[in-house]
A and B are shown apart, each in its own frame.
Chain A
Amino acid sequence: MAVTPTAALVQTLNGIQFGFILFMIASGLTVILGILDVLNLAHGELFSIGAYTAIGVFGFIIGIVGPPGGGVAGTAVFLFAVLAAVLVTAAILLPVGTLFEAVFLRQIYDRDQVYQLVLTFALLLILLDVKKFIWGDSSIRTDAVYSAINTIPTSELVGLNYPTYNVFVILVGSAVVAGLFWFFERTKTGRIIRATAIDREMATAIGVSTDRVFTLVFALGAFLAGFAGAMAVPPTSATLEMGTNPLVLSFVVIVIGGLGSLRGAFVGALLVGVIRSWMITLYPPGEIAAPFAIMALILLVKPEGLFGTWGETA
């Protein structure tokens, strides 16, 4: 199949867009791993709860605002409403994360890591049943966002055929990346979190409450999972199984980037997204294998991942 330059550009954009969704998921996994040293197997379920929750929140908020109105102002109002819905969804996941950390995880920090794996796997199963209880067995979707955003002209202004919603994901994803780096590099809370990650005992000695930091970090991880779920659901549907694949790919991403490295998660996510996209185009059977092959290659050459562990820099 001959690929034209335009198709090549669109396939790359598809990969970048998927990479940003992956990064939003992997970033939550990364901060929890980097600071709490916990590999949270329930993270994919938090992502899917974000997707389910977002469908209701989108319906409520877009119902108030209505479809994108005419002109720049109307469009801006609609986009603001969508962003508000995403943030509200993510905020709903904050107390969920807080509860999990305070009630369950805090009890087992001092135990062997296998206890954390079993506990978070148990949480995964419980969340699966909770979803079934609340939203039922059937898949559900939101119709309010995807088509509406795609009516806003963007890529066609430069002669491309690319959905505006994907542009929206890339822009919001970029803002999330910038926001996270700004938070950890520039804010006092971010620095305290990094300090705790680098040397827990020293942080305690200078008066940092590690309990609070840990709760905050787990809640932040849940927030990011919910944010990712809300951003990912409009073009597709929320299903009971939707947490599994992103979780597995997120593990690949954080291994490629370096366990617990936010910078590594960003680079890893874009790498996996773009390579997967091109693999589907050029050799479809390699779609699933390609990310794992890259991971294996990087582990052979650089066992600590591209950027090593997190702390000194974000």
Chain B
Amino acid sequence: MERTTTDHDTGGIGRRKLLSAVGGSAVAAALAGCSTLLSDGESAEQGGQSSGGISDEPIQAGLLTFTRGAPGVLGIQAQRGAELAVQRINEAGGIGGQREIELDVVNEGSNPLDSYNQFIEEGKEVTFGPISSGTHSQIAPEVEKNEVINVSTDGTVTTLYEETVPDPTYSFRFQNYDIMEVVTMAREAVERIGADNISTVAGVNPGYSFGEDEMRVFTQAIQKLTDAEIVYEGFPELGASDMSNHITSINNEEPDVTFSSLWGGDVTTFVRQANANNMFENTTVFGTTLYSAAGDVPGDALAGTDIYSGSRNYYWGKPALGNWQPGRELFDAATQQDGVTVPTAHYMSGYGAVTAWATAVEKAIDLLGTYPSQEQIAQMLEGHGFFTPAGYHNIAEDHQGASNSFAGKMVYDDDLGAARLEDVNTYAATETAPPPGVTGSDWLDSWSA
């Protein structure tokens, strides 16, 4: 079954529309992966921007991400994505055809604010990251104070631009945020098994603000879509080695739906132990970030499971790799990078954050004829639309990125040597995100029961 939702991705997009959206520059074309589109007379060098008033000094950029430990399953994907985007920009001649990017990467680790401040002291002209919502909440106010653009790769907590930094100027977020991925999965649960068949729901989510936030939003969304009762909520700590108590509780309740926002190495532990306890005979699991462990979860653990996972704003099969050349190029380049079995949404977090910033700067250069200031880049990023191999993205005036999200059945692919999604549904941002200026909670409240 494939949903027939309006699909705003780039399958079959024409050359004119694409070049118009990306501003026609070589860098933008390189980032969208469509250099072949320029081959009929428009070379990369003729990409379109004036370079007279631009220095050739390299742009110093910083990326804050998890490079090790259990969160490294996500963080290294983001790092490799950002590195590939930077590589493509530099191969296209750099920003404005003049300025190549030098990217420093530091581990988000235990003192991320110190690392971010170090970037500022070093004079970085742009920072990307972080992964963690907790880190993002610490950093976003500092970004506003320092007046240096930050485009976060993740840091997806719903309240960031509602409460923490309600009127941002320099802080932007590329990735779809918590409410979008949770609503996607609530809709996916109804789509797959029907509202009338969902009367009981359980949750197993990470034991910190992200997991609690996701469970709260899922509860609100699923209870608007169905009359379900929440029968169990478990919050294992990050990196827990033993999840059997939560699994036993779910087996005891046999809920129609189990919602989970576990991610990275915790997914592997949960799925393996749940399978060993025959949990998938008693419930269907819907998870926002389970697919983040695509390259880590073993085939035998997924055998016989009933798991539907979201993939935030990127699934490499959408649009199909063979239908749109950039998808194939990115996939092939990504799988050759160290630590990337298959590129996941976190790969696109890194790739897309760099792309959002670079294409906005290119547009500003087109308009101004010179290299823009931080404030001018910030103005350009508001309402900025651009393409990546994940499709079309827009950063709204509330500084929040939005694009399609994807969900499908998680299965193991022996040929790929990793998990993949089967029978993928696409959800447009208008179905999953509140309009700018409306809080997530108010938006969910406004749904008719």
Contacts and interface: CB of A to CB of B under 8 A. Distances in A.
B244 interface: yes
A11 B245 contact: yes
A239 interface: yes
Interface in A203-254: 232, 235-237, 239-242, 245
Interface stretch (B139-147, B170-178, B246-254, B390-398): B246-254
Interface string A1-40: 1011011001100100110000000000000000000000
B247 to A, nearest CB: 9
A245 B245 CA distance: 17
A200 interface: no
A235 B241 contact: yes
A137 B72 contact: yes
Contacts of B276: 146-147, 150, 163, 165, 235
B3 interface: no
B245 A162 contact: no
B70 interface: yes
Interface in A119-142: 132, 136-139, 141
Q: Which of A18, A137, A166 has the most C-beta atoms of chain B within 10 angstroms of its own C-beta? A: A137
Nearest to B240: A236
A237 B277 contact: no
Contacts of A14: 242, 244-245, 248
A284 interface: yes
A141 B273 CA distance: 14
B268 interface: yes
A235 B249 contact: no
Interface stretch (B96-104, B112-120, B228-236, B371-379): B228-236
Contacts, number: 102
Contact of B69 (A150, A241, A281): A241
B272 interface: yes
Interface residues of B, number: 37
B239 A277 contact: no
Chain A interface residue bracket vs B = 35 or more
Contacts of A11: 245, 248-249
A242 B244 CA distance: 18
Interface string A134-161: 0011110101001100100000000001
A104 B87 CA distance: 49
A281 B241 contact: no
A150 B246 CA distance: 19
B242 A18 contact: yes
A161 B68 contact: no
A102 interface: no
Given A18-B242, A147-B301, A235-B276, A138 B68 contact: yes
Given A163-B273, A235-B269, A240-B69, A138 B248 contact: no
Given A14-B242, A240-B69, 15 more contacts: A11-B248, A18-B242, A137-B69, A138-B69, A139-B69, A139-B72, A141-B268, A147-B272, A150-B276, A161-B277, A165-B276, A235-B273, A280-B249, A281-B245, A284-B235
8 contacts: A11-B245, A14-B245, A138-B72, A146-B276, A161-B278, A235-B269, A237-B265, A237-B268
Interface of B: 67-70, 72-73, 76, 231-235, 237, 239, 241-242, 244-246, 248-249, 251-253, 265, 268-269, 272-273, 275-278, 298, 300-301, 339
Interface of A: 1, 3-4, 6-7, 10-11, 14, 17-18, 132, 136-139, 141, 143, 146-147, 150, 161-163, 165-166, 232, 235-237, 239-242, 245, 277, 280-281, 284, 288
